[in-house]
Amino acid sequence: MMIKTAVTLSSETLARLAYLGGTKGQRSRVIEQAVAKMAREKELAEQQERELRLLNQIADEENEDTLDVLRFSADPFARLD
């Protein structure tokens, strides 16, 4: 469903919009596509941030395991704390 709305744009932005979209109906399409693209990019960035946090958590756990192995290898009689 399309809803008519009003926005305030700088003359420079309006000129760019006119260049990209041409007619009035096309300007709405350009704005809609731009917003959709920005939303996809934001969602992708958020997903990548979540995945990076998870990978870093896994890496930290693996690093701890590796340090335990190295400590044991250096002194097999040492206690693991």
pLDDT digits (tens, 9 = 90+) for 6-45: 999 999 999 999 899 876 668 889 999 999 999 999 999 9
More confident residue, 48 or 67: 48
- Maximal CA-CA distance, the chain: 80
Residue 29 domain-assigned (yes or no)? yes
Residue 65 domain-assigned (yes or no)? yes
Residue 56 domain-assigned (yes or no)? yes
Domain count for the chain = 1
Residue 79 domain-assigned (yes or no)? no
Residue 47 domain-assigned (yes or no)? yes
Q: Tokens 């340090």 — which residue?
A: 67
Residue 46 domain-assigned (yes or no)? yes
Domain of residue 49 covers 16-73
- 3-state SS of the chain: helix, strand, coil percent to 5? 75, 0, 25
Residue 4 domain-assigned (yes or no)? no
Q: For residue range 45-64, what is the model confidence (pLDDT) as tens digits?
A: 999 999 999 999 999 999 99
Residue 2 domain-assigned (yes or no)? no
